[in-house]
Chains A and B, each alone.
Chain A
Amino acid sequence: MSDSCLISSSTPAVPTQGEIDASCRVPVMALFSGAAVWLLVSAVAAIFASMSFHNPAMFADCAWMSYGRIAPFAKTAMIYGFCLPAAYGLAFWLAARLCQTRISCEVGSTAGAIIWNVGVLVGSFGILCGGSSGHEGFEIPRYGALILLVASLVLGYVGLSTIHNRADREMYPSLWFIILGFLWFAWILSTAVVALGAEPVRGVAQVAVQSWYSTNLQLVVLGLFGLGALFYFVPKLAGKNLYSKHLAFLALLSLTFCGSWTGQSSSAPLPAWIGAVSNVAALLTLVTALAVFENLRTTCCIKAPEAEAKFFSFSTPFFFVALLLGALAVIPSIDQRVSLTLYHAGQTEALVVGFFGLVALGGIYHVLPKVADIQWPFAGLVRAHLWAATFGALIVTAAYVIGGWQQGGQLLQAGVKSTDIAKSVLMPIRMASLGETLWALGALLLFGNVALLIVKRAKACMKCCETGCCGAEVKS
């Protein structure tokens, strides 16, 4: 590892914004371009998965395309392929910008990004080949998870050492969230790798661990990275200061203390106290929702001219809705009705796709032109992607929540045959296909834009090398 990778105790000279962006260029572009590819792959896979509900016999002869394989593949590609690399990319750029320092180890972070994408590739295709771990929310096979763990340690180290080298010792709220995001993910992933993979715990303790991991990943880790980004981008695009640091701290406190205890189903064959504690925690996460909503409502950026501002503005209600759906499911009569239904899939959709997906897309559209020093080839498509992604996430969330509610009502009537229940979920899942198609169209737009931007950047670099102006800034 080069000297630049070591944590420096001396205060470095403050670099310019251009120098900071240039230092992030390769790792952030590697992470974002990988994210764009996996976003498209996951969106297309999700459409294929839903095809089983349009024509059950469509993939009867192809094991790879069967619903039980392609659906977890799509989820894995979405979370590990798109969400987390986008989170790391945004976190690196934010850390460097807010700390007014260059990224601490460009080579290490680029290597981390490559290792990460290899891990996702190996793990997700392992699922398609029948290597799923069988643990819901952590289907990625052991060999893929190990590669991801190594990559997360490398990426986390780079992020934390960048923050450690900051010029100003005072930390902006976004950095609190990002620091905890790096630490949190490494801890939960290592726990899952050991307790579900290498030395699996016995019996239903596995269910407790997989639910804990899954919730901590989707709510806490993506929540930390997502809110960290929102608390930076929203005030910046609104041209205001963040309304309240204290509210941001309250959001951090309640998200980490309460959010990390949620996700355990009260219907699962676990000791009753686990579901009860989890339900109380889910109710308390409303504090997070209210703190975030109040902070960002007062520092609203929806009227900002940049298209990405609307991604951030639309993501906040999804976060609120996701936590509200979780809190509502605490009420015993509702819990009894919606457990083991599509309702919770709708809540996950609101959180992962609606909230974090939109934050990540807004962040990519804002950051990538800056680090690449090239404008978007088709800037007009950003707005098209905004509407496709927002309506896509909204349709899928609504279809699953409403469908889950109906499904739960039928499950509570012993006289309704299971085939009738299965038929009743067809319509919501088919409706969700429409949302998934919109989301995939948006993913295609992002992929096209990112691919062309990278080509332009590569051409500009080659031109520079030919003319010997490699150090100069490239203007589009």
Chain B
Amino acid sequence: MNYRSVVFLVGFLALASSWCGMVLTPQLQVGRQEITTNSVTSLLYPSRRPGLAEQGAQVYRANGCAACHSQQVRQSGTVFDVVMTEAGTNTAVVLAALKSVDAKLDAGFLGTLPKNVLTGVSKQQSDEATKAFKDTGAKVDARVRPTGTDIERGWGLRASVAQDYLQDSPVMVGSQRIGPDLANIGARNADLSWHLQHLYDPKSKIADSTMPPYRFLFEKRRVGRNPSPDRLNVTTEPGYEIVPTDKAVALAAYLTSLRSDAPLFEAPFSAPAVAPKSDSPAK
């Protein structure tokens, strides 16, 4: 058998199909997304980063930070919390409804509200519970709660989706988690000076950090007549101070701008009554 023509045909079809499938179709599906007004916050999402943060994104790109840090929160599923916010006036009917939802609940539950009637249940269970309280006069909310280890760690409130990256170019989602995920580092810690000091000497902020110091983003200079207002609070040679360069300030501004915490149609969540806390800002 002479495969000559077949080889050309196979090559062309294989390459064309893969190009159409993995380049053209994603471009048609997500490459044409537009920035829209968020239905919950009524703000444009995602909003453009401030100019300094835009410059910081280029410092992030130039120094290959994505080699160790991802910017994508994973989510394994969604559960619902049924929360009672008001008990109403007809306590007897509300108590009966409470008992029908969970036999263990009693009048003591109605003492301090809001409180979870049910926690981490399915959509069906949540709907049934909400229905039970329909005509009782009590106010009950079904709250959507994304689940997954990234979310439990406090790395984000929901999964990262295509909409989150519409203002970024290049998009640096990363493929390694040698360091923590940074998709929401700005939401976890918006303290610019903390980030600057962490970039200069990571161990000064997180004792067991393995991140390399980025001292080349800082200047060590002799203290003039007056110390610089931007100097870092670190120990150095007497008569000298450590001052961040423009690049360091821009990078810190970029890091503090990183947050994807708007509820979206494709990644819904209800704002928790109390925001989840991580054990350290950079966890």
B208 touches A66 (CB 8 A): no
Q: Does A394 contact B (CB under 8 A)?
A: no
Least CB distance, A3 to chain B, in whole angstroms: 26
Interface size on A, residues (CB 8 A): 89
Provide the bound-state CA to CA distance between A260 and B14, in Å.
Answer: 8
Among the stretches B28-36, B113-121, B130-138, B226-234, the one at the interface with A is: B28-36
Q: Does B17 contact A (CB under 8 A)?
A: yes
A204 touches B173 (CB 8 A): yes
| A59 / chain B contacts, CB cutoff of 8 Å | 212
Q: Which chain B residues numbered 1 to 17 have a C-beta less than 8 Å away from chain A? A: 1-4, 6-8, 10-11, 13-15, 17
A170 touches B67 (CB 8 A): no
| B149 / chain A contacts, CB cutoff of 8 Å | 411-414
A411 touches B170 (CB 8 A): no
B166 touches A202 (CB 8 A): yes
Provide the bound-state CA to CA distance between A466 and B7, in Å.
Answer: 49
Q: Does A328 contact B (CB under 8 A)?
A: no
Q: Which chain B residues numbered 58 to 84 have a C-beta less than 8 Å away from chain A? A: 61-68, 70, 72, 74, 76
Q: Which of B152, B159, B212 contacts A269 (CB 8 A)?
A: B159
Least CB distance, B197 to chain A, in whole angstroms: 14
Among the stretches B97-105, B175-183, B236-244, the one at the interface with A is: B175-183
Q: Does B107 contact A (CB under 8 A)?
A: no
Provide the bound-state CA to CA distance between A407 and B178, in Å.
Answer: 9
Provide the bound-state CA to CA distance between A139 and B65, in Å.
Answer: 13
Among the stretches A79-87, A336-344, A358-366, the one at the interface with B is: A336-344
| A340 / chain B contacts, CB cutoff of 8 Å | 70, 72, 74, 174-177
Provide the bound-state CA to CA distance between A203 and B74, in Å.
Answer: 18
Q: Does A277 contact B (CB under 8 A)?
A: yes
Known A171-B3, A268-B72, A274-B22; contact A256-B14, beta-carbon cutoff 8 A: yes
B152 touches A414 (CB 8 A): yes
B164 touches A132 (CB 8 A): no
The 8 A CB mask of B165-193 against A (1 = contact, 0 = none) is 11011111111111110000000000000
Q: Does A195 contact B (CB under 8 A)?
A: yes
Least CB distance, A39 to chain B, in whole angstroms: 22
Q: Does A239 contact B (CB under 8 A)?
A: no
A184 touches B177 (CB 8 A): no
Whose C-beta in chain A lies nearest to the C-beta of B18?
A: A260
Known A171-B3, A179-B7, A418-B153; contact A134-B170, beta-carbon cutoff 8 A: yes
Provide the bound-state CA to CA distance between A235 and B62, in Å.
Answer: 47
Least CB distance, B221 to chain A, in whole angstroms: 14
> Secondary structure at chain B's binding surface: helix, strand, loop or mixed?
loop
Q: Which of A61, A209, A257, A425 contacts B14 (CB 8 A)?
A: A257
Provide the bound-state CA to CA distance between A425 and B178, in Å.
Answer: 7
Q: Which of A202, A260, A426 contacts B210 (CB 8 A)?
A: A426
| A52 / chain B contacts, CB cutoff of 8 Å | 212
| B68 / chain A contacts, CB cutoff of 8 Å | 67-68
Known A66-B212, A426-B210; contact A206-B162, beta-carbon cutoff 8 A: no
A136 touches B7 (CB 8 A): no
The 8 A CB mask of A269-284 against B (1 = contact, 0 = none) is 1110010011000000
| A318 / chain B contacts, CB cutoff of 8 Å | none
Least CB distance, A98 to chain B, in whole angstroms: 13
B165 touches A269 (CB 8 A): yes
Provide the bound-state CA to CA distance between A475 and B114, in Å.
Answer: 92
| B212 / chain A contacts, CB cutoff of 8 Å | 52, 56-60, 66-67
A71 touches B23 (CB 8 A): no
Q: Does A267 contact B (CB under 8 A)?
A: yes
Q: Does A218 contact B (CB under 8 A)?
A: no
Q: Does B211 contact A (CB under 8 A)?
A: yes
Least CB distance, A307 to chain B, in whole angstroms: 32
| B173 / chain A contacts, CB cutoff of 8 Å | 204, 207, 268-269
Least CB distance, B277 to chain A, in whole angstroms: 13
| B168 / chain A contacts, CB cutoff of 8 Å | 203
B171 touches A203 (CB 8 A): yes
A203 touches B63 (CB 8 A): no
Q: Which of A245, A256, A342, A345 contacts B11 (CB 8 A)?
A: A256
Least CB distance, A242 to chain B, in whole angstroms: 13
A422 touches B210 (CB 8 A): yes
Provide the bound-state CA to CA distance between A58 and B209, in Å.
Answer: 15
| A339 / chain B contacts, CB cutoff of 8 Å | 74
Provide the bound-state CA to CA distance between A419 and B210, in Å.
Answer: 7
Least CB distance, B44 to chain A, in whole angstroms: 15
Provide the bound-state CA to CA distance between A414 and B164, in Å.
Answer: 24
| A303 / chain B contacts, CB cutoff of 8 Å | none
A-B contact pairs, 7 of them (CB 8 A): A71-B67, A133-B61, A208-B22, A257-B14, A271-B26, A340-B174, A413-B149
Binding site for B on A (CB under 8 A): 52-53, 56-63, 66-69, 71-72, 130-136, 139, 169-171, 173, 176, 179-180, 183-184, 187, 191, 195-196, 200-209, 211-212, 216, 245, 249, 252-253, 256-257, 260-261, 264-265, 267-271, 274, 277-278, 336, 339-342, 344-345, 407, 411-414, 417-423, 425-426
Give 5 closest A-B pairs by Cβ, nearest first: A68-B64, A205-B31, A130-B62, A134-B170, A260-B18
Binding site for A on B (CB under 8 A): 1-4, 6-8, 10-11, 13-15, 17-19, 21-23, 26-27, 29-33, 61-68, 70, 72, 74, 76, 149, 152-153, 159-166, 168-180, 202, 206, 208-216, 279-280, 282-283
**Known pairs A169-B4, A260-B17. 20 more at Cβ < 8 A?**
A60-B214, A61-B216, A72-B64, A169-B2, A184-B15, A187-B19, A202-B31, A202-B166, A202-B169, A204-B26, A204-B165, A245-B3, A257-B18, A268-B173, A269-B72, A271-B162, A340-B70, A340-B174, A419-B208, A423-B208
